[in-house]
Chain A
Amino acid sequence: QSTLTQPASVSGSPGQWITISCAGTSSDVGDNNYVSWYQQLPGKAPKLMIYAVTSRPSGVSDRFSGSKSGNTASLTISGLQAEDEADYYCCAYTSSSTFVFGGGTHLTVL
């Protein structure tokens, strides 16, 4: 059970958009449409931002969107705001009925 591959850090200026990638394999990201994304603020528990690749829970800003192509999923945040600065993790359901997280990406809003 390896971790999914995410960039360690990304950055953007307020108002810009950024994309965080999440690379897996045909046994996890590429196996089904159960990829989710979580935001974690310092000292806080993770919060669900995207599920089932593209779905957004109620209460989450529509500036957050998800997509997937083959074995790689992506999280896009448009109209960056200072409050978006956080760690972001992808998670995939695997063909073995287990789950695997990405290594996490720290987003800096410049």
Chain B
Amino acid sequence: QVQLVESGGGVVQPGRSLRLSCAASGFTFSSHGMHWVRQAAGKGLEWVAVIWYDGSKKYYADSVKGRFTISRDNPKNTLYLQMSSLRVEDTAVYYCARWDNDKRFDPWGQGTLVTVSS
């Protein structure tokens, strides 16, 4: 079955960097765009970034532009989010999601928690 498993979360100090990974299985990873979406505790969903199926295009939310980089390794069926210059307000659960037909997010991974704190 289609599965997305995030990893790489943890506690990091402000200004430092962290890389998240999302391992995909059960579908042809190289045929689908992929997203990162985050959710701070008790808050709503915030779209973070999208990457085209072949990595040719990438788009970011204004809140992370210039600090976060989305990338993918299709032979390894893995999506990444390189986060730098982290801020306290980046603290959230980060989800990866498959970009399916008609611009839908389906399915989602279980999420990985990133805590930015001194």
Contacts from A to B (Cβ < 8 Å): 1, 3, 34, 36, 38, 40, 45-48, 51-52, 55, 57, 89, 91, 93, 96-104
Contacts and interface: CB of A to CB of B under 8 A. Distances in A.
B104 interface: yes
For A38, A96, A99, A103, which residue has the most chain B Cβ atoms within 10 angstroms?
A99
Interface in B76-118: 95, 100, 102-111
Nearest to B95: A45
A93 to B, nearest CB: 5
B108 A3 contact: no
Contact of A48 (B57, B105, B111): B105
A81 B45 CA distance: 24
Contact of A45 (B46, B104, B108): B108
Interface residues of B, number: 25
B61 interface: yes
A52 B103 contact: yes
Chain B binding surface SS class: strand
Interface string B37-77: 10000001111001000000101111100000000000000
A72 B90 CA distance: 29
Given A1-B62, A52-B102, A97-B59, A102 B44 contact: yes
Contacts of B107: 45, 47-48
Contacts of B61: 1, 98
Contacts of B104: 36, 48, 51-52, 57
A45 B109 contact: yes
- 3 closest pairs, A vs B, by CB? A34-B103, A51-B104, A104-B44
Given A46-B95, A46-B105, A51-B104, A100 B110 contact: no
Given A3-B44, A45-B95, A89-B44, A99 B108 contact: no
B105 A91 contact: yes
A47 B107 CA distance: 7
B5 to A, nearest CB: 11
Given A46-B108, A98-B59, A99-B50, A51 B103 contact: yes
